[in-house]
Amino acid sequence: MKVQRLLFILFISAAFLNACSNGNPSGDVTVLFQPKYAKGFRVVKSGNDTLIQFLNPSHSDSPTVSYTVSLSKINPERIALLSTTHSYFINALNGMNNVCGVTYADRIQLANLQEQIQNGRAQNLTKNGDVNQEDLLMLNPTVLFSVPFEPTDYRSKLRDCSIIPTSEYLEEHPLGKAEWLYVFGYILRKDVLAKELFLEIESEYLDAMQDSSKDASQGSAKVFFATNNGSDWTVANNQSYWAILLKDAGAEYVGATEGKGNLNFDKERMLFALNEADAYGELVYFPNTSNVSLSQLHPEFTQSGPFLHKKLFLCNAANNGFFDKALLEPHILLQELKKVLSDSTFSGYYFQHTQ
């Protein structure tokens, strides 16, 4: 069922991109901003107008424009956000006062946003796990940060609203996810601040990466990383986010093959990968739980190398905002990952050593 659900989401995403495609704008364009790491957008000049072009992620070698917004037509006075991640980008740019609605407000750990919701200046748009369409329409936002696989055609429902398809989660490079700060910066008319914030994040990430290169001269640890789904495990391919993050931490990512998208491992494939690794890490989700033991979760693996030698670590996404605010902290993720791989007693905000 999980595989079918993933295929459905990818299908809807592709359909959305095709449906909203404007193609390449006519006439000559000048690229004003080309991201270093992100593949999903760029900013161009066309005539007297500045445009954000959203690019089809499946054609990263020769990107095609799937959607375009004109900055001259955007009024960021009233912003609605359909993903929890969007709130952290907006907050970093001091734009929370412009936000009138968010989804899954209970999951967003921002005191200023919670205050706005309590005093009625912003509204939680989620009801019974879904976006309350009626509430969203009544808010009448001027800007809506949407997600590409969202099946609702908000352009027809909110005709005076600028729809921004935000796909930072599709970026493979940790800095690519953070680089979407520029999109939010241009929309909020705070592109200078966005640049300052990103360059600071990039600098700290590259510093940690440089230190990793020095440490790796003595030999790289072979690390395997996965997420348990109950009956099987999700494993990232060796060109993906986890592979890049582990490589930048000075480790060698093992257990996955070439290709795109996540892989599914059964117990047999897991055992083979674990026996190739020096250390094993797992992304888990246990709300309000501080002591999670991988040995207790997976007794079937206790005779594999990482379990025998206690080279185990985890990231509990339920407690640390890994899926939202961590997108703006790739440098901290990298710093902590280095420490947890070298120090068997380390316990950080995102990564913890475990038994």
What single string gives the DSSP state of each residue in 96-122? GGGEEEESSGGG---HHHHHHHHTTSS
**Which of the two residues, 201 and 263, has the higher pLDDT score?**
201
Confidence at 214, pLDDT banded by 50, 70, 90: low
The whole-number pLDDT of residue 276 equals 94
Nearest Cα to 37, choosing from 327, 345, 333? 327
| Percentage of residues of the chain with pLDDT beyond 70 | 88
The whole-number pLDDT of residue 232 equals 95
The whole-number pLDDT of residue 235 equals 94
| Percentage of residues of the chain with pLDDT beyond 90 | 75
The whole-number pLDDT of residue 247 equals 94
Nearest Cα to 183, choosing from 212, 214, 145? 145
Q: Which two tokens stand for residue 222?
A: 């072979």
The answer on pLDDT for 16 being more than 50 is: no
The whole-number pLDDT of residue 311 equals 96
Can you point out the beta strands (E) in the chain?
30-33, 41-46, 49-55, 65-70, 79-81, 99-102, 123-124, 126-127, 130-131, 143-146, 162-165, 222-228, 233-235, 252-253, 263-265, 279-284, 312-316, 352-354
Task: Return the H-helix or E-strand segment holding 184.
Answer: helix 181-187
The answer on pLDDT for 20 being more than 50 is: no
How far CA 300 is from CA of 83, 226, 294, 310, in Å, comes to: 37, 15, 11, 15
Q: Mean pLDDT throughout 2-8? A: 37
Q: Which two tokens stand for residue 95?
A: 């734009």
**DSSP code of 129?**
T
The whole-number pLDDT of residue 61 equals 63
The answer on pLDDT for 24 being more than 70 is: no
Reported as half-sphere exposure (CB side, CA atoms, 13 A), residue 49 has a value of: 15
The answer on pLDDT for 299 being more than 80 is: yes
Please, what is the angle between helix 330-342 and helix 191-216, to 10°?
20
How many residues in total does the chain contain? 355
The answer on pLDDT for 136 being more than 60 is: yes
The tens digit of pLDDT for each residue in 80-89 reads 999 999 999 9
**Which of the two residues, 3 and 350, has the higher pLDDT score?**
350
Phi, psi of 7 (to 5 degrees): -60, -40
Which residues are bridge partners to 144 per DSSP? 80, 163
Confidence at 98, pLDDT banded by 50, 70, 90: very high
The answer on pLDDT for 54 being more than 70 is: yes
Mean confidence (pLDDT) of the chain: 88
Three-class SS state of 277: coil
Q: Which two tokens stand for residue 286?
A: 């246990």
The whole-number pLDDT of residue 28 equals 81
Task: Return the H-helix or E-strand segment holding 16.
Answer: helix 2-19
What pTM value is reported for the model? Answer: 0.88
The answer on pLDDT for 228 being more than 80 is: yes
> Which residue in this structure is represented by tokens 């003595």?
218
Nearest Cα to 33, choosing from 46, 23, 20, 42? 42
**DSSP code of 198?**
H
Q: Which two tokens stand for residue 40?
A: 């999903």
Nearest Cα to 84, choosing from 142, 131, 134? 131
Lowest mean pLDDT, pick from 106-120, 180-194, 203-217, 313-327: 203-217
Q: Mean pLDDT throughout 116-120? A: 96
The whole-number pLDDT of residue 56 equals 85
The whole-number pLDDT of residue 57 equals 63
What distance in Å separates the CA atoms of residue 207 and residue 139, rounded to the nearest whole number?
Answer: 44
- How deeply is 329 buried, as exposed, middle or buried, from its count of CB atoms within 10 A (0-12, 13-18, 19+)? buried
Nearest Cα to 104, choosing from 142, 131, 134? 131
Using only C-alpha atoms, what is the Rg of the chain? 21
- What distance lies between CA 338 and its chain's CA centroid? 20
